[in-house]
Amino acid sequence: MRHTGTTMLVVLNKDAYSIQREQDVILFRNRVKEFAVRIGMGVVNQTKLITAASELVRNMLRYANGGDVLIEVITRGRENGIRLTFKDQGPGIPDIKQAMQDGFSTGRSLGLGLPGTKRLVSEFDIKSTVGVGTTVTIVKWKNG
Amino acid sequence: MGPFLLVTIQVDLYDRLALMLESDLVQAISKSGAQGVLIDISAVSIVDSFMGRIIGNIASMARLLDAHTVVVGMQPAVAITLIELGLTLPGVQTALNVEKGMQLLQSRIRVADSEEDAPHGDDDAGSPE
Ligand SMILES: Nc1ncnc2c1ncn2[C@@H]1O[C@H](COP(=O)(O)OP(=O)(O)OP(=O)(O)O)[C@@H](O)[C@H]1O
Ligand SMILES: [Mg+2]
């Protein structure tokens, strides 16, 4: 996370969604796109943000049986951006460092979701407690 | 030379549709004896690791059925995103559009056919690798 000290982060607009089923993935992606278009985010950054969001909702469905997502339009200084918070009450991740490595997967998959998502966004934060759940927060600045 | 199959994906596919496409396409390849498969994704705006894996699966199953796969029309933003995500599609070739994709398939198939005729084709007996 970047700390500017003097500039405050302001939430302009927000919306919450519950993710329960596979069909929610595309619906949710469309919502993210609407928000990104509304702040004038360019196509490349939009695509990176939506792809990252898609990976994180898939993880939520696959490993935690779903969860909730908050979409926020934020502003800091002159920058506008989108912040997404993915919160689930699944099993949690015992070793986050390991989960963030390219190729690590307990689902016999590619293990790209978390590390790839981090590369695609401006800011990435993950918190997880075993037995309690996982919260991943990402920010994509309009020009970031 | 066998026929080519052209598949155009018109929308961002729901997962179940994507999985159906995978099995339908594999059946179509085996029924038609196609030697080449073109997957046109020019209308697809998001390729995440799930969709990428489906495309990769189609290509590897096509390969088992002796067909080559070319993905055509990938949007530039999608290509940039896939690289950053870290998703590579082994065995999948890409081309700018359907026409270029056809040319690529034709040349691939010619090369494969001439390798078959060669006396030391793909036989790995005695090969150091
Ligand atoms: N929300 C979550 N709750 C519990 N465990 C999770 C969650 N998200 C990820 N994990 C764990 O972290 C590992 C790595 O996740 P990541 O998304 O990077 O890879 P993957 O989902 O296994 O494969 P891919 O995303 O490439 O299909 C997962 O295999 C899983 O063990
Ligand atoms: Mg994943």
We report the CATH number of the domain holding residue B23 as 3.30.750.24
pLDDT, average across residues A96-122: 95
Q: Which domains does chain A have, with CATH numbers?
A: 20-141 (3.30.565.10)
Q: What ipTM, to 2 d.p.?
A: 0.90
Distance CA B120, CA B112 (A): 13
pTM of the model: 0.90
Q: Is A105 in the pocket of ligand 1 (CB under 6 A)?
A: yes
Phi-psi label, residue A81: left if phi above 0, alpha if psi -120 to 50, beta otherwise: beta
Q: For residue B68, what pLDDT is reported?
A: 93
| 3-class DSSP state of B120 | coil
* Domain-located, residue B128: no
* Per-residue pLDDT tens digits for B15-74: 888 888 888 989 999 999 999 999 999 999 999 998 998 899 899 999 999 999 999 999
> Å from B78 to nearest chain A CA?
7
Q: Are B85 and A116 a contacting pair at CB < 8 A? A: yes
Could you tell me the pLDDT band of residue A6, with boundaries at 50, 70 and 90?
A: low
Beta bridge partners of A127: A135
Residue B68 domain boundaries: 4-117
% of chain A at pLDDT higher than 90 = 84
Question: Which residues in chain A have their CB less than 8 angstroms from residue B49's CB?
Answer: 55, 58, 109-110, 112-113, 116
Establish if B129 belongs to a structural domain: no
- CA–CA separation, B125 vs B9, rounded Å? 41
Ligand 1 atom nearest A109 alpha carbon: 23
Whether residue A42 has pLDDT greater than 80: yes
Beta strand spans in chain B (E): 4-8, 36-40, 68-72, 93-95
For A22-51, what is the mean pLDDT? 96
Domain membership flag for residue B122? no
Work out the angle at residue A125's Cα, subtended by the Cα atoms of residues B15 and A91, and round it to the nearest 5 degrees.
60
Q: Which residues surround ligand 2, an ion (CB under 5 A)?
A: A 59, 113
B114 pLDDT higher than 60: yes
